[in-house]
Structure 1
Amino acid sequence: MLDKRKFYIDGQWVDPLAPHDLEVINPATEEAIAVISLGTEADIERAVAAAKRAFQSYSLTSVEERLALLEKLLAIYERRYEEMARTITLELGAPATMSREQQADVGVGHLKGFIDALKNLHMREKLPNGDTLLREPIGVCGLITPWNWPINQIALKVVPALATGCTCVLKPSEFTPLNAMLYAEMVHEAGFPAGTFNLVNGEGAACGAALSRHPDIEMMSFTGSTRAGKAVTRDAAENIKRVTLELGGKSPNIVFADADLEDRIPASVAEIFNNSGQSCDAPTRMLVERSVYDKVVALAEEAGKAARVGDPTEEGDHIGPLVSDIQFGRVQALIEAGIAEGARVLVGGAGKPEGFEKGYFVKPTIFADVTNDMKIAREEVFGPVLVLIPFDTEEEAIAVANDTPYGLAAYVQSGDLERAQRVAARLRAGMVHINGGPHRYGSPFGGYKQSGNGREGGRFGLEDFLEVKTVHLPDVA
């Protein structure tokens, strides 16, 4: 078992001020693979102090100096790419192929996106009215990242902080801390000055709250549940610090009768099952035009039955386990609620798949004949669970799609591109995918309503970490 009980503070791996061990569990085997230490408010204090000292000089570095450091980080990440993929498989349970092609890849893609954006960002510009606009790093940033796409969120927070001249303290999820510690090794090797990046493992109620409340933290960037995002916002309010949030989702997937159903339905089912359904922007509510509802139900059932659960260490497109026993229990409870509410189970259901008594595996599940007031249509399941809801008109589809407290992503499937774009314009979501259009590196990621605020990725992601200063010069006679 790996001993990972140190924190990365002020350019060094240091012991926690008070021991508080926690075992990291492999979700496929339920066996401990490492031991970390959970930090305290005192550990956060040390890390923030180091970041505050480092900010005095790092904030004055040039864009060219920071670009050179980011290029070094990119080269190191690419060299250790396979190590990152294996680590994520081990602690998250993401299947090996998925870890390599998606989970680890984001560390390269987002970094390249930020490098390109930084090269094209004007830190100083002349306004048409004669004033000068300066973009300056906001200060010391507290970063809290989740377990479901760990490097994705680390890259979307750590990289823009360092790229803009900020310094930071990262608190990754205690369920998947090993990839974050590997990333810290890469940052260290790249030569970022001591104190610019710091890492403290810990629980949200202790370390996360300590970051959010700290008077020397100028910005909090949080990704996780809406409930926890509200807690971060409340804690941060005392100091009026900037808060950016990427929270939950219950994304609608509107399927019109003129869509290429044989292509788009299996693809949509595969997307919800990807990462074991543990994605905040997953298309979990499939809204289907009633004239093709029976056909879509049949296609979805066929695709669902073809989905395979398997060992995450093996190559392939199978589904791995959920991250933890806690998550397993939550997903089971919601599947059972769907059955109790009268939704028709097409595929899966409660319990573990046959042959997977050990590990946090669940049956990939599809419900038909769901109404939008059911619990499984309202709450974020965060597992491989899809619900099918019929609709009659375009107006009804838009109304049902928007009838959710969330607004992260939405999906539209239609053979009429003009209609698809018309509908997309009326959906209250931060991102709309039409006919399988992917999210591309460098584009903004974020949502409306209780899915959060701020945008991550590319230029918009950099601007979240910048203050804007206007310099007023005297009029020239």
Structure 2
Amino acid sequence: MKDLTINTATAYDLPRTFVGRHLIDGAWVAGAEIFERLSPSHGVVVSRSALGSAAETEAAIAAARRSFDAGVWSRISGKARATVLLKVADLIEANVERIAVQETLESGKPISQSRGEVGGAADLWRYAAALARTSHGDSHNTLGDDMLGVVVKEPIGVVSIITPWNFPFWILSQKLPFALAAGCTVVVKPSEMTPSSTVMLGELLVEAGLPAGVCNIVLGYGEPVGSLMSRHKDVDMVTFTGSTAVGKRITQAASDTLKKVALELGGKNPQVIMPDADLENAADAVTFGVYFNVGQCCNSSSRIIVHEDIADAFVARVVELSRQVRFGDPLDESTQVGAIVTADHNAKIDAYVKAAIEAGAKAELGGGPMSVEGLGTQFYQPTVMTNVTPDMAIAREEVFGPVLTVLTFRTLKEAIALTNDSEYGLSAGIWSTDIHTCLEFSRRAQAGTVWTNTWMDGYPELAFGGVKQSGQGREIGKYGYDEFLEVKSLVMRVGRDSRAPWVKTSA
């Protein structure tokens, strides 16, 4: 590991242990029991949170139902809703450092990336506020002289929001402001591994003047909190981000009440590298794509598909860049890759790598856990795997760590086939200076997002979501906003009825 760039522990005064409570009907509720979160990087308890039970979950759902039915949020003007959302955006920006430090301590991600996640989320709130004021339906004035048709959009109702640990603040901000902009009321359950930034956002919602019961937060585990939120009869929709396996269980739980389910799940996202590409930019983007957020990212470009003519040179450049990526203390300003979220997940990543090596793959770099001086062993080396075949688990399954697999191809047709040879379809990318090549790939790639000559650029205006087992529904953008709306048709007769009567009367 001497050839890696490692940041050892820095001198940093850790904040006081954060105490998290439930937010139910506008009141902060302490639980009878608590659970603790041990920092994956620093090995100390960084939060103590109320442990939610079925009772708190029922109370939160009931509060959301009462609030929605009373119309304190669902029936006010779009302008009034937008005003609150804009206040929240301002408050987020004023509290970036406090939230980011806590998120880094709970998740292990670098502080620079936590700051970017929290600060960038304010833009999602502002865009959702704009949608609250500009949403509209349709009118149909061509149905005949005595008929007028109007299509209106109404909030779907009570929404359960269940978020993961890898981007706890960002992913909540891909869901919550859009649900609120639509007029819905919500119950939120963050991951038990990263609960605190959600509670901090709840504090900002209260400060911004969101009415009691509109947003409720219950902390705890999938059972009983998440499962009850998924199957409860008074919940109209569930939106979940996480693993495909849990997404399937949520769909099953929701099926008895036929509530709407939106899912953003796993990915095994490829970048195709053509021989005419700008190889330096492509290598930098590949390095970023696999190590960003410690590789614990649904959009991670964990597999690359490289033309045979350039494969050796391209992989060598990625390995060279990988050696220069700064791994280590996530509280160091210069760190780019921090700690793995749990020891069990670190072991799972390593099991994928070891199984691939046993099957004939080669680790060009890395290939195992590592320790960082002053911080412990919950880190994983930057790893680049060659001699990988498409049937290996490491090439097909979501490893969710800083591990890159390399496949090769000869023709664009073969590259597209390898791209689509996956249960997942979240994102894909291609690098080429030929616009025709980029367009053909973009049309044929089975993915919710296709990047050409870039990776992981995103904007609030553009919808995000996947196909196949990467999920259903969309987030952010106008399409993501529409997920929280029901469409209702109003059919209205104008003036006297000109139809001949259906019932013939004798008069």
TM range (shorter): over 0.9
Q: Please state if 1:70 is matched with 2:85.
A: yes
Is 2:439 the partner of 1:421?
yes
| Counterpart pick for 1:219 among 237, 250, 254 | 237
- Picking from 30, 35, 49, the partner of 2:62 is 49
Question: Does structure 1 residue 126 correspond to structure 2 residue 139?
Answer: yes
Cα deviation code 1:226-246 (max 9, x no counterpart): 000001000000000000000
Q: CA deviation at 1:317?
A: 4.4
1:129-148 counterparts in 2 under 5 A?
129=142, 130-148=148-166
Alignment CA distance shift 1:51-1:416 (3 Å)? same
Check if 1:377 corresponds to 2:391: no
2-side partners of 1:108 and 1:21: how far apart? 30
Residue identity over aligned pairs, in percent, reads 37
SS at match of 1:268: helix
Check conservation: 1:106, 1:151, Cα contact below 8 A: no
Q: SS at the partner of 2:257?
A: coil
* Equivalent of residue 452 in structure 1, options 455, 467, 471: 471
CA distance in 2, matches of 1:413, 1:105: 30
The answer on whether the counterparts of 1:444 and 1:458 sit within 8 Å (CA) in structure 2 is yes
Unaligned runs of 5+ in 1: none
Whether 2:456 is the aligned partner of 1:443: answer no
Q: Deviations over 1:206-260 (max 9, x none)?
A: 2110101100000000000000000100000000000000000000111100001
Q: Give me the whole-angstrom Cα distance separating, in 2, the residues matched to 1:302 and 1:346.
A: 10
Question: Which AA in structure 1 matches 2:63?
Answer: A
- Where does structure 2 lack aligned partners over 5 or more consecutive residues? 1-15, 143-147, 499-507
Deviation of 1:475 after TM superposition, in Å, equals 5.5
Identify the range of structure 1 (91-100 vs 223-232) with the bigger mean alpha-carbon deviation.
91-100
Greater mean deviation of Cα atoms: 86-95 or 397-406: 86-95
1:237 to 252, 255, 262: 255
Separation (CA, whole Å) in 1 of partners of 2:328 and 2:369: 16
Deviation at 1:115, TM superposition (A): 2.2
Measured in 1, the distance between the counterparts of 2:165 and 2:231 equals: 23
Structure 1 distance, partners of 2:324, 2:347, is: 25
Cα 1:342/1:268, change in 2 over 3 Å: same
Contact 2:99-2:118 within 8 A present in 1 as well: yes
> Is the 8 Å Cα contact of residues 118 and 459 (structure 1) preserved in structure 2?
no
TM-score normalised by L of structure 2: 0.91
Which 10-residue stretch deviates more, 261-270 or 196-205? 261-270
2:40 to 23, 27, 35: 27
Partner of 2:145: none
Aligned partner of 1:319 in structure 2 is: 337
| Residue 356 to residue 259, structure 1, CA distance change in 2 (3 Å) | farther
The structure having more radius of gyration, on CA atoms, is 2
The separation in 2 between residues aligned to 1:193 and 1:459, in whole angstroms, is 25
Aligned partners of 2:120 and 2:394: how far apart in 1? 30
Give the residue type in structure 2 aligned to 1:171. K
Equivalent position of 2:355 in the other structure: 337
Residue 4 of structure 1 is matched in structure 2 by 19
The alignment status of 1:433 with 2:451, answered yes or no, reads yes
When residues 15 and 353 of structure 1 are mapped into structure 2, their CA distance, relative to the original with a 3 A threshold, is closer
Contact 2:79–2:132 (CA under 8 A) maintained in structure 1? no
The amino acid that maps onto 1:76 is L
Deviation at 1:353, TM superposition (A): 4.5
Structure 1 residues 44 and 353: alpha-carbon distance in aligned structure 2, compared to 1, 3 A threshold: same
Three-state SS of the structure 1 residue aligned to 2:297 is coil
Corresponding residue number in structure 2 for 1:60: 75
2:483 maps to 464
Q: Deviations over 1:139-179 (max 9, x none)?
A: 01100000101111111111111111100000000000010
Q: 1:358 to 1:182 in 2, by over 3 A?
A: same
AA in 1 matched with 2:121: G
Q: Secondary structure at the match of 1:473?
A: strand
- After TM superposition, the structure 1 stretch with the greater mean CA deviation from structure 2, 25-34 or 235-244, is 25-34
The amino acid of 2:124's aligned partner reads: H
Contact 1:5 1:21 in 2 (8 A): no
Matched residue of 1:338: which SS? helix
Aligned equivalents of 1:329 and 1:169: distance in 2?
A: 33
Greater shift in the superposed pair: 288-297 or 233-242: 288-297
Alpha-carbon distance in structure 1 between the residues aligned to 2:118 and 2:231: 32
Q: Match of 1:259, SS?
A: coil
In the alignment, what sits opposite 2:286?
A: 268
The number of equivalent residue pairs is: 473
Write out aligned runs for 1:288-307 (5 A): 288-307=306-325
AA aligned opposite 2:185: T
Aligned partner of 2:50 in structure 1 is: 37
Structure 1 residue 356 displacement after superposition: 6.8
> Distance between the aligned counterparts of 1:405 and 1:181, measured in 2?
35
> CA 1:360 to 1:327, structure 2 compared with 1: closer, same or farther past 3 Å?
same
Alignment map for 1:180-259 (pairs within 5 Å): 180-259=198-277
Separation in 1, partners of 2:45, 2:78: 43
- Counterpart Cα distance in 1 of 2:461 and 2:355: 39
**Which residue number in structure 2 is paired with residue 399 of structure 1?**
417
**Inter-partner Cα distance in structure 2 for 1:54 and 1:211:** 17
Q: Is the 8 A contact 1:304 1:364 kept in 2?
A: yes
Instruction: Give the aligned partner of residue 13 of structure 2.
Output: none
Runs of 4 or more above 4 Å deviation? none
Shift of 1:308: 2.4
1:337 Cα deviation (Å)?
1.6
Whether the aligned pair in 2 keeps the contact of 1:30 and 1:359 (CA below 8 Å) is: no
2:460 alignment partner AA = Y
Partner AA of 2:310 in structure 1:
V
> Where does 1:275-294 land on structure 2 (aligned, <5 Å)?
275-294=293-312
- Across the aligned residues of Structure 1 and Structure 2, the Cα RMSD in angstroms comes to 1.5
- Further displaced range: 161-170 or 89-98: 89-98
C-alpha displacement of 1:359: 4.6
Q: Which residue identity does 1:120 align to in structure 2?
A: T
2:316 counterpart letter in structure 1: A
Equivalent pair of 1:114/1:442 in contact (CA under 8 Å): no
Q: Summarize the Cα distance change of 1:381–1:128 in structure 2 as closer, same or farther, 3 Å threshold.
A: farther
Cα distance per residue 1:115-134 (max 9 Å; x no partner): 23333321x43135441011
